[in-house]
Chain A
């Protein structure tokens, strides 16, 4: 055998089909002769599908996202308003995104089919033109068309898989949310309970607590009626008592539920004090209610 370098040269000299300038110029002349008077620009269907999907997702997603930013969540911190709104917005958002993805997939597939049809029409026009100009049929149209189909099918499959994944994700989100529905309801109850104290509303306290409710503050234990009396007795209102949750409560258990949250208390004279509230929440025939409330502050013995 020859040197490997020589073998490479001999192999490529023997196999490579060279292109001459005559081939190029002659090919171009034939192409100019048979080119349609107004050539139509055709897009690759796969790219049309991807472009349509992306454009729809960006436009619809952008519009909805912008709307959400401009309107924004509303609610009073401490009364539970903002967390509730954000939670609802998050639940709604997953469905919005699913809807946007579905619309984008439909538009993408429609666009791809239109592009494919237009491409076929263009090919047919070119073939007709060529058939009337020269007898030989066009050589490479079949391969290119097959490849286009392959690309289109792959794109549609990818988009369909993406849609299925989004659907699965949305269902998973929904399931996860329903699994955590009780803690969310507990949080809502605690927010209402806190609001009842801040509004000095004895009726709300009675409605939100069980009959055997106890409020423990250091060495003092108060039952439901005593607690309602403390809340609405006028003393708290006279000193301007207000308490806000700092952050979200930690909730554990699956009925009864145990919750703890840091609270920040203020009164008109200027006291600022943090403490920890712990709750036991039970599910009753009238819904979730607070069974016990223990406050521990810096001065608690």
Chain B
């Protein structure tokens, strides 16, 4: 009995290590930093409670993203979705990036951040969001171009 539980815990640990980053970043990009963290924690807690079901799923990350979406809707939407970061913490980041992010649509933000910022493949992001690869590409491109135009490309050469 104990060993079965340990095996589950090991499997779950492996699953969390593999899935959590994608989930955390995607939910943070979708619902803001604060709610994204809460929603990710809730989704993973749900996954552990329903582990026997989750481990059988073909696309558990996509399912948990939807669980996270449901959980995120239970929280108050904060006034500031994306806080400014102190320049010392992220020196190369435009001080207006957080404002520009808030002006994108949810899908554009998630796709642009995941594909262009964090290097996930379009397929991985498509599985997570439950949309086609082409939609992800379109959202990502539009999101990135909006960000660029809003920040007026203050980039070092």
Interface residues of A (CB under 8 A from B): 1-21, 23-25, 27-28, 31, 140, 143-144, 146-147
In-complex Cβ contact of A27 among B37, B45, B89, B94 (8 A)? B45
Could you tell me the distance between the alpha carbons of A9 and B154 in the complex, rounded to whole angstroms?
Answer: 16
Closest to B20 in A: A19
User: What's the A-B contact tally at a CB cutoff of 8 Å?
Assistant: 119
**CB <8 Å contact, B82 and A5:** no
The 6 A-B residue pairs whose C-beta atoms are closest, nearest first, are: A8-B117, A2-B92, A21-B16, A17-B37, A14-B90, A10-B90
**CB <8 Å contact, B41 and A19:** yes
Residues from chain A with Cβ under 8 Å of B83 in the complex = 15
Residue B21 lies at the interface, judged by CB distance under 8 Å to chain A? yes
**CB <8 Å contact, A14 and B29:** no
Q: A4-B147, A17-B33, A147-B76 are in contact. Are A12 and B25 (CB under 8 A)?
A: yes
Residue B56 lies at the interface, judged by CB distance under 8 Å to chain A? no
Residue B7 lies at the interface, judged by CB distance under 8 Å to chain A? no
**CB <8 Å contact, A28 and B74:** no
Could you tell me the distance between the alpha carbons of A145 and B45 in the complex, rounded to whole angstroms?
Answer: 21
B149 smallest CB distance to A (angstroms): 11
**CB <8 Å contact, A7 and B12:** no
Interface residues of B (CB under 8 A from A): 9, 12-13, 16-17, 20-21, 24-25, 28-29, 33, 36-38, 40-41, 44-45, 47-49, 74-76, 82-83, 85, 89-90, 92-94, 97-98, 101, 112-113, 116-119, 144, 147-148, 151, 153-156
**CB <8 Å contact, A11 and B98:** yes
In-complex Cβ contact of A18 among B13, B24, B101, B144 (8 A)? B24
Closest to A27 in B: B45
**CB <8 Å contact, B94 and A7:** yes
In-complex Cβ contact of B155 among A1, A25, A27, A31 (8 A)? A1
Could you tell me the distance between the alpha carbons of A17 and B41 in the complex, rounded to whole angstroms?
Answer: 10
Q: A14-B93, A19-B24 are in contact. Are A8 and B112 (CB under 8 A)?
A: yes
Residues from chain B with Cβ under 8 Å of A31 in the complex = 45
Residues from chain A with Cβ under 8 Å of B74 in the complex = 144, 147
Closest to B148 in A: A4
Could you tell me the distance between the alpha carbons of A11 and B83 in the complex, rounded to whole angstroms?
Answer: 10
Given contacts A12-B118, A21-B20, 14 further A-B contacts (CB under 8 A): A1-B93, A2-B92, A8-B113, A8-B117, A9-B117, A12-B113, A14-B85, A18-B21, A18-B37, A19-B20, A21-B12, A25-B9, A27-B41, A146-B76
**CB <8 Å contact, A9 and B28:** no
**CB <8 Å contact, A1 and B156:** yes
Could you tell me the distance between the alpha carbons of A97 and B68 in the complex, rounded to whole angstroms?
Answer: 41
Closest to A9 in B: B117
